[in-house]
């Protein structure tokens, strides 16, 4: 068996090309590791047989020099991406037996580049949550634990299955989606790299919708370089998504030949006033120092409307969700709980099919769109959104990137915040403004806190400037203290 713990996407790519191992050997090694890692509860569904068949095909292609750019490399898919013939549940009971007859554009792009799906990764139900505790499949467990502690921690959310799987080396790359931080926050909690591309960069077609104007697909990987490779394969214009951007996908890997000297980074004042843990604040200051030393100008900037981002987000996202989730009604597909009439069928199906957090958001969203409340909530939130967007555009007139922590704290314990929605929502305070402005951002592991848990730094750049994220991000990887892998405490022997 290959020790997949030491591998990442780009090293696998090189090894497969060189013939160090075959795709089939690699897939078998991941399967064995996944089977020993059931404790983490990352995969909702596995597709091992399919993967082994595909690996054989990939090995053939590699031999014949017909390989795609990521040929034969295994991948985990967030269970929000529709996969043809493979159960797609959004980690909800209401879709517990749903098998799409179609393939999402992003997964299709990845498969076309040669990647092999190992299975579908858990997430918060319909991507609503920041801890992956709302999954109908149960909580996902973070492979990281505090030093000298056996307390189980959350892997973040909603892409907690993806972040935990990459951190635990259960796949070198996982797809994820980010509506208010659902890629970056779990990446920060698990010591992985999470990229939320510009809104419109990756097609939303075939991804179960949460909040359409905010949802964006992106990768969770082990390194910045892998993130660039993955985005290359995922991104692209799609005429099936009206909000997809018809913008050329440049060669993202080129970022590596660039110099940061003379460039500038903005530090938003308003974020300094937030309630951040001491370790995270220190880590942020440290990161600023790394850039200074690299000749980057550090500027203090203002994002005055960002203090309203969280309330605006928790109006807009639930409003869209309340409408997007109306299609899960027990009529056409998915779960149906019969009733004596139509109304009771609707009520029972949705009462049993949706979990508490999803119901909470549908209720909030329905409320803010209701006659008499629309102007005070939804319309006002949209205005705030526009102002936040303008704040960022103003900032990017003077800086090339913005640097903030990704989260106010490191990973918390399973069950600790689940009964306090407001506390849970405050996890997104640093990530949400980026979604409201449609900007790209990346979370990169930047160190360990005093209890040994990973922390993440967030870089934000202007629309469609993902390349600068990689360019700036690389310095964090090079400057931080070495982050060891989580110990394999969960592995069944």
Partner 1 sequence: MSENNNRNPRFIIESPTGDWEVVIGLEIHAQITSNSKLFSGSSASYGGEPMSHVSLVDAAMPGMLPVINKQCVRQAVKTGLGLQAEINKYSVFDRKNYFYPDLPQGYQISQFKHPIVGEGIVKVTLKDGSDIYVRIERLHLEQDAGKSFHDIDPQSTYIDLNRSGVALMEIVTKPDLRSAEEAKLFVTKLRTILRYLETCDGNMEEGSLRADINVSVRRPGDELGTRCEIKNVNSIKFIGMAIDYESKRQIDEIESGNEISQETRLFDISTGKTRSMRSKEEAHDYRYFPDPDLLPLNLSQDFIDEIVKELPELPDDKKDRLMEQYKLNSYDADILVSDKKYAKYFEVVAKGRDPKLSVNWISGELFSALNRLSLDIDQSPITADNLGELIDLIIDGTLSGRLAKDVFEIMLETQKSAKLIVNEQGMSQITDESSIEKLVDKIIDENSDKVAQAKEKPKMVGWFVGQVIKESQGKANPSKVNELVLKKIGL
Q: Does 11 bind partner 1 (CB under 8 A)?
A: no
Q: Does 180 bind partner 1 (CB under 8 A)?
A: no
Shortest Cβ 245–partner 1 spacing (Å): 11
Q: Does 384 bind partner 1 (CB under 8 A)?
A: no
**Rounded CA gap, 116 and 27, in Å?**
8
From residue 332 to residue 371, what is the string marking binding to partner 1 with x (rule CB under 8 A)?
xx--------x---x-------------------x--xxx
Q: Does 323 bind partner 1 (CB under 8 A)?
A: yes
Which positions from 60 through 99 interact with partner 1, judged by CB under 8 A?
81-82, 88, 90, 95, 98
Contacts of residue 394, Cβ cutoff 8 Å, sequence gap at least 6? none
- Of the candidate residues 51, 211, 459, 469, the single one contacting partner 1 (CB under 8 A): 211
Nearer to partner 1, 200 or 473 (CB): 200
Q: Give the helix/strand (H/E) hosting 382.
A: helix 380-395
Neighbours of 75 (CB within 10 A): 27
Q: Encoding tokens for residue 167?
A: 């951190």
Shortest Cβ 338–partner 1 spacing (Å): 10
CB 90 within 8 A of CB 79: yes
Q: Does 482 bind partner 1 (CB under 8 A)?
A: no
Nearer to partner 1, 17 or 240 (CB): 240
Q: Does 492 bind partner 1 (CB under 8 A)?
A: no
Q: Encoding tokens for residue 171?
A: 């796949």
Chain centroid to Cα 485, Å, comes to: 20
Q: Encoding tokens for residue 85?
A: 């013939």
Nearer to partner 1, 50 or 243 (CB): 243
Q: Write the DSSP string, 60-119.
A: HHHHTT---TTTT-EEEEETTB-BTTB---TT-GGGTT---SS--HHHHHHHHTT-EEEE
SS3 category, 266 = strand
**Rounded CA gap, 376 and 364, in Å?**
14
Catalytic residue flag (residue 292): no
- Helix orientation angle between 309-324 and 380-395, rounded to the nearest 10 degrees: 120
Per CB under 8 A, the segment of 33-41, 237-245, 266-274, 468-476 that binds partner 1 is: 237-245
Shortest Cβ 325–partner 1 spacing (Å): 8
| Active-site residue, from 182, 227, 443, 446 | 182
**Rounded CA gap, 40 and 143, in Å?**
7
| Active-site residue, from 24, 28, 78, 335 | 78
Catalytic residue flag (residue 203): no
> Which residues does the annotation mark as catalytic?
78, 158, 182
Tell me which residues touch partner 1 (CB under 8 A): 81-82, 88, 90, 95, 98, 100-102, 104, 204-209, 211-213, 239-243, 319-320, 322-323, 325-327, 329, 331-333, 342, 346, 366, 369-371, 374, 378
């Amino acid at each position: 068996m290959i020790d997949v713990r030491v591998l990442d996407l780009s090293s696998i790519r090189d090894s497969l090309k060189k013939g160090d191992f075959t795709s089939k050997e690699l897939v078998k090694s991941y399967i064995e590791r996944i089977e020993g890692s059931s404790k983490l509860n990352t995969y909702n569904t596995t597709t091992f047989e399919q993967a082994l068949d595909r690996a054989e095909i990939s090995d053939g292609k590699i031999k014949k020099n017909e390989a795609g750019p990521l040929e034969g490399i295994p991948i985990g898919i967030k269970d929000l991406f529709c996969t043809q013939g493979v159960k797609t549940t959004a980690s909800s009971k209401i879709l517990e037996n749903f098998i799409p007859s179609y393939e999402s554009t992003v997964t299709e792009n990845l498969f076309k580049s040669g990647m092999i799906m190992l299975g579908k990764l858990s997430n918060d139900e319909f991507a609503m949550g920041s801890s992956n505790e709302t999954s109908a499949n149960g909580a996902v467990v973070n492979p990281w634990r505090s030093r000298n502690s056996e307390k189980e921690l959350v892997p973040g959310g909603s892409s907690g299955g993806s972040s935990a799987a990459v951190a635990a080396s259960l796949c070198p790359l996982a797809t994820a989606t980010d509506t208010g931080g659902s890629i970056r926050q779990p990446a920060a909690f698990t010591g992985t790299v999470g990229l939320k591309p510009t809104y419109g960069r990756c097609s939303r077609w075939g991804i179960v919708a949460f909040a359409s104007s905010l949802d964006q697909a992106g990768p969770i990987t082990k390194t910045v370089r892998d993130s660039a490779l993955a985005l290359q394969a995922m991104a692209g214009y799609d005429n099936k998504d009206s909000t997809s951007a018809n913008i050329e996908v440049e060669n993202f890997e080129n970022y590596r030949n660039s110099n940061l000297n003379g460039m500038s980074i903005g530090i938003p004042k308003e974020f300094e006033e937030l309630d951040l843990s001491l370790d995270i604040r220190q880590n942020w200051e440290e990161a600023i120092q790394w850039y200074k030393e690299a000749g980057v100008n550090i500027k203090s900037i203002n994002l005055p409307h960002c203090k309203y981002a969280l309330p605006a987000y928790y109006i807009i996202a639930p409003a869209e969700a309340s409408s997007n989730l109306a299609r899960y009604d027990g009529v056409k597909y998915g779960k149906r709980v019969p009733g004596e009439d139509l109304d009771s069928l609707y009520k029972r199906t949705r009462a049993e099919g949706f979990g508490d957090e999803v119901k909470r958001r549908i209720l909030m969203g329905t409320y803010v769109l209701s006659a008499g409340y629309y102007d005070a909530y939804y319309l006002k939130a949209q205005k705030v959104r526009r102002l936040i967007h303008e704040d960022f555009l103003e900032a990017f007139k003077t800086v090339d990137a913005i640097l903030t922590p990704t989260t106010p704290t490191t990973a918390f314990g399973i069950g600790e915040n689940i009964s306090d929605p407001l506390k849970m929502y405050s996890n997104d305070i640093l990530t949400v403004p980026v979604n409201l402005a449609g900007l790209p951002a990346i979370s990169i592991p930047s160190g360990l806190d005093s209890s040994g848990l990973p922390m993440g730094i967030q870089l934000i750049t202007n629309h469609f400037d993902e390349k600068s994220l990689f360019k700036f991000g690389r310095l964090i990887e090079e400057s931080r203290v070495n982050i060891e892998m989580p110990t394999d405490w969960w592995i069944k022997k």
